[in-house]
Amino acid sequence: MGQKVAFTTLGCKLNFSETSGIAHQFEEAGYTRVEIDEGADVFVINTCTVTELANKKSRQAIKKLIKGNPSAKIVAVGCYSQLKPDEVAAIEGIDLVLGSENKFEVINQLQQIEAEGKTRVIVSDAGKEKTFTPSYSYGDRTRSFLKVQDGCDYYCSYCTIPYARGRSRNNSIVQTVAKAREVVEKGIKEIILTGVNIGDFGKASDENFFGLVKALAEVEGLERLRISSIEPNLLTDEILEFVAQSKVIVPHFHIPLQCGTDNLLRLMRRRYTTSLYKKRVEKIKSLMPDACIAADVIVGVPGETADEFEKACSFIDSIDISYLHVFTYSERENTMAVKMPNQVPLNERKSRSKIMHALGEKKQRIFQEQHLNSSRQVLFELQEMGGQMFGFTDNYIKVEIPYNKELVNTTANVLLETVTDDGNVLGKLNI
């Protein structure tokens, strides 16, 4: 048995797909992948820096592993390492710090450390990242996150991601389809497209996102393709009309709104207005009435007066969206927003977050209840909890039924019956 390696991932779907990519490299190099609490020779942490809290959690995860595994090699890769390499390198016991461009070089760099016997820190110039390393998650989930794009050129006022992940870049459609085929060959039924600004796909290859989804929908054996998060200004009519007629691409759209008034969208340098957002929602619902539309919302951005917040809530309440992901604004160094006037006090941000969460729950409940007493295809996952198993419908409703091993990683027709207290839908198999 080769050396043992274990991984922990913080943050987004993209990070999970990249951790799987790095793990794959270790397995190919003869390492054995083990769980984080089983003890290993090497530990890799894929860090996140989207908020100050994410930085703190990354530091805590690193320190915990160093304390629990004094003789192991501890490696921190990813966005926090890229933005704050000195802070990470200053943690006593860390062996290797790799930024966004270098996170797939862990094994080579570990060999260097063996030779030099001291901490190595390698990060690229922020914004200068050029390479695109494809990756996808598998083995630990029924569905796979396929990385199709990295980086972002938008520089929204509150966001550090362009500084942590660099400029927008991608592989060609042909190369991306080849990766999707690899995923399907591993028995995965559903691919979820992931990246930072996936709608911007194609900039580096003179292609576009519409071309990509058309090509991926042709991948033999692929049962489901889920677009996941895409900017409203990049979700074009032709993409929506194509999804509406597709048997493979599921009717689920995650469209970041962030702010619910045009004044705040302008301040945050978002590239659309509330009217464009509303038109996207109406277009989707006119083509696919059962479609699920999720929105990211940030509360408490600079300039969000009580009146603006109220307007934002009534705008969100007025549009037919299915659930919200609510974030509380967090100051990020080097962003435009941190220097803006009219910063919202933290306790006020917290109380607005509660209000927005409640609005999100109301929206989700309405969406779930609209689909009760109807049948939908559910892709069942590995997990068993309390004698139940879980899966998602095509339009992203989480369903639970009594556990049946035969159904793992298969799609089955399920009658949606009732909404459970913990927000899932109880289903009954349609035999």
Footprint of ligand SF4 on this chain (CB under 6 A)?
A: 152, 154-156, 159, 161-162, 196-197, 231
Q: Which is nearer to ligand SF4, 236 or 410 (CB)?
A: 236
Q: Which is nearer to ligand SF4, 152 or 188 (CB)?
A: 152
CB of 270 to ligand SF4, least distance (A): 7
Amino acid of residue 320: D
Q: Which one, of 174, 162, 155, lies nearest residue 125 by Cα?
A: 162
Angstrom distance (rounded) from CA 266 to CA 276: 13
**Six token digits for residue 259:** 């702010």
Q: Which is nearer to ligand SF4, 4 or 13 (CB)?
A: 13
Strand ordering across the sheet containing 224-226: 143-147, 190-194, 224-226
For residue 124, which phi and psi values (nearest 5 degrees)?
Answer: -95, 165
CB of 139 to ligand SF4, least distance (A): 28
Spatial CB neighbours of 68, under 8 Å, sequence gap ≥ 6: none
Cα-based distances in Å from 253 to 67, 249, 258, 400: 42, 10, 15, 22
CB of 129 to ligand SF4, least distance (A): 14
CB of 257 to ligand SF4, least distance (A): 11
Angstrom distance (rounded) from CA 377 to CA 379: 7
Q: Which is nearer to ligand SF4, 12 or 407 (CB)?
A: 12
CB of 420 to ligand SF4, least distance (A): 33
Q: Which is nearer to ligand SF4, 159 or 356 (CB)?
A: 159
CB of 163 to ligand SF4, least distance (A): 9
Q: Which is nearer to ligand SF4, 164 or 412 (CB)?
A: 164
CB of 268 to ligand SF4, least distance (A): 8
Q: Given the DSSP bridges, would you call strands 425-429 and 411-419 parallel, antiparallel or unpaired?
A: antiparallel
Angstrom distance (rounded) from CA 335 to CA 10: 22
**Six token digits for residue 253:** 């759209």
Q: Which is nearer to ligand SF4, 154 or 315 (CB)?
A: 154
CB of 96 to ligand SF4, least distance (A): 26
Q: Which residue is listed with tokens 């539309």?
A: 293
Q: Which is nearer to ligand SF4, 53 or 306 (CB)?
A: 53
CB of 287 to ligand SF4, least distance (A): 25
Q: Do 13 and 145 meet the contact criterion of CB atoms below 8 Å apart?
A: yes
C-alpha neighbours within 13 Å on the C-beta side of residue 97: 26
Concatenated DSSP letters of 169-222: B---HHHHHHHHHHHHHTT--EEEEE-SSGGGTTTTTT--HHHHHHHHTT-TT-
Q: Which is nearer to ligand SF4, 197 or 261 (CB)?
A: 197
